[in-house]
Amino acid sequence: MGGLSEETLNYQHLAMIYDAIMGDHEGVMRYSKMLQDVLVGKRILDLACGTGDLTVTLNNLGYLMTGLDLSEQMLEVAKTKTEPGKIRFLCGNMINLNLGEVFDSVVCANDSVNYCSSLEQIANLFESVNRHLPIGGIFVFDYHQKARLAEFIEPFDEEGVVGGVGYWWHIVSEPPMLRHTVTIYGSGYPVVETHDQYIFELKELQTLLEEHGFRCEMIDPTNYDDLYLDEKWMFKAQKERNV
């Protein structure tokens, strides 16, 4: 790692290499197959949509998509994957969201809920989602399992160069969180993004869902080619009441 570096907002710089490192076409296909089984309706809000691979795939399957993310840079990449006007992309914070409209179903994919740093933030997120669904609407999300904290007691390091941009990805377990330190060597000084993903107990999430008007079921990964088996819990929450 270079001596000088700049601390930046999450996904501000990672956005330019995110797809090259994390892109997983086959994974997106398996995820969207699962969603086709569990979502209701056609109007879908994709929270923390990132660079939009899942959003675009669902749109191609006939869903009317709105993708929302905190990172303008991730959204800029997402917008290049579709024709103008086909998908609405919005910049915003899913934890405290009020778009003033409802969707048939809401998705939040690929451990994005793990970015909530407290149970209070998760509660606010569930309240936000409740606000955007009708009774009977479905909220689907996945969440790093507790076991992942043990997996990264020994730090994980990956280095590489993609499209002329170098990176070093360091993951270490600092319970209750996984800390990802991503150093990106672009044209200027290296930039460092620190991504903290918190892992709370399964029971705590289930209780919060119930308290925020949802009936919760766990999605069985074995029905979907072992999607995230032993890695992430997958939740299907159906809205029962307003909160």
Ligand X SMILES: C[S@@+](CC[C@H](N)C(=O)[O-])C[C@H]1O[C@@H](n2cnc3c(N)ncnc32)[C@H](O)[C@@H]1O
Comparison of 11 and 143: residue with beta carbon closer to ligand X? 11
- Among positions 32, 35, 50, 233, the unique one binding ligand X when judged by CB under 6 A: 50
- Among positions 104, 111, 142, 193, the unique one binding ligand X when judged by CB under 6 A: 111
- Among positions 57, 66, 105, 112, the unique one binding ligand X when judged by CB under 6 A: 112
Comparison of 146 and 195: residue with beta carbon closer to ligand X? 195
Query: Is there binding between residue 93 and ligand X (CB under 6 A)?
Result: yes
Q: How far is the CB of 50 from ligand X (least distance, A)?
A: 3
The CA distance from 193 to 80, in Å, is 24
The CA distance from 231 to 123, in Å, is 23
Single-letter residue type at 35: L
Which candidate, 138, 110, 137, 112, places its Cα nearest to that of 125? 112
Query: Is there binding between residue 228 and ligand X (CB under 6 A)?
Result: no
Q: By CB under 6 A, which span of 56-64, 79-87, 90-98, 221-229 interacts with ligand X?
A: 90-98
The first and second tokens of residue 148, run together, are: 């992942």
Query: Is there binding between residue 94 and ligand X (CB under 6 A)?
Result: yes
Query: Is there binding between residue 54 and ligand X (CB under 6 A)?
Result: yes
Give the CB-side neighbour count of residue 203, counting CA atoms within 13 A.
0
Q: Of all residues in this chain, which one has the CB nearest to ligand X in the complex?
A: 50
Query: Is there binding between residue 171 and ligand X (CB under 6 A)?
Result: no
Q: How far is the CB of 3 from ligand X (least distance, A)?
A: 28
The CA distance from 38 to 23, in Å, is 23
Which candidate, 212, 213, 203, 214, places its Cα nearest to that of 236? 214
Q: By CB under 6 A, which span of 110-118, 151-159, 169-177, 227-235 interacts with ligand X?
A: 110-118
Cis-peptide into 84, omega within 30 deg: no
Query: Is there binding between residue 193 and ligand X (CB under 6 A)?
Result: no
Q: How far is the CB of 73 from ligand X (least distance, A)?
A: 9
Query: Is there binding between residue 71 and ligand X (CB under 6 A)?
Result: yes
| Strand extents, DSSP E, the chain | 6-7, 43-47, 64-69, 88-91, 105-108, 138-144, 156-162, 165-174, 177-185, 191-198, 214-218, 232-239
Comparison of 96 and 215: residue with beta carbon closer to ligand X? 96
The CA distance from 174 to 238, in Å, is 33
Comparison of 182 and 237: residue with beta carbon closer to ligand X? 182
Comparison of 5 and 93: residue with beta carbon closer to ligand X? 93
With residues binned 3-state (H G I as helix, E B as strand, rest as coil), the percentages for the chain, rounded to 5, are: 30, 30, 40
Residues at the contact surface with ligand X, assessed by CB under 6 A: 10-11, 48-50, 53-54, 69-71, 74, 93-95, 109-112, 115
